[in-house]
């Protein structure tokens, strides 16, 4: 009985959509517009730069770009999730979702991801498991 459960569990892990995990599947990278990144830059300077620096280099808070950061090794959805739940310092969840999304677009741009024509949405962020630094 236990062997059957293990075999069934293994088969469930291996087959998703008829393909073995990782075979032929590429995580979907979310898109953002240049207009969103610009708005996000303004929101960042207003709400984040005091702690994270005008060049994302880190002051009181950690660096968010520029090589002294570790965000490039984090999934886009995880960076957004942490930011939206814990920032800004002293006022977590204090910004409207639209501003968090715009700041995420600015962070994506700051990590070398090219702007596209499709606006960044919360749903697209939630589905983006690619690393933030994948744009470099």
Which residues are within 8 A (CB) of 71 and not within 5 positions of it... i.e. 6 or more apart?
A: 64, 65, 79, 107, 111, 132, 133
Question: What pLDDT score was predicted for residue 101?
Answer: 98
Task: Map out the domains of the chain with their CATH numbers.
Answer: 27-135 (1.10.760.10)
Phi-psi region of 22 (alpha: psi -120 to 50; beta: other; left: phi over 0): left
Global pTM reads 0.80
Question: What pLDDT score was predicted for residue 68?
Answer: 81
Q: How far apart, in whole angstroms, are the C-alpha atoms of residue 54 and residue 67?
A: 15
Give the model confidence (pLDDT) of 92-128 as tens digits: 999 999 999 999 999 999 999 999 999 999 999 999 9
Question: What pLDDT score was predicted for residue 134?
Answer: 81
Residues of the chain with pLDDT under 50: 1-24
């Amino acid at each position: 009985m236990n062997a059957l459960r293990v075999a069934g569990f293994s088969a469930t892990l291996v087959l998703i959509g008829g393909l073995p995990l990782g075979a032929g599947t590429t995580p979907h990278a979310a898109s953002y517009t240049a207009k969103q990144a610009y708005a996000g830059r303004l929101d960042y300077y207003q709400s984040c730069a005091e702690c994270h620096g005008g060049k994302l280099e880190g002051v009181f808070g950690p660096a968010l770009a520029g090589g002294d950061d570790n965000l490039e090794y984090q999934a886009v959805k995880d960076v957004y999730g942490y930011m939206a739940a814990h920032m800004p310092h002293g006022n977590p969840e204090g910004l409207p979702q639209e501003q968090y999304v715009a700041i995420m677009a600015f962070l994506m741009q700051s990590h070398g991801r090219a702007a596209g024509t499709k606006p960044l949405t919360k749903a697209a962020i939630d589905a983006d498991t690619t690393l933030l630094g994948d744009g470099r």
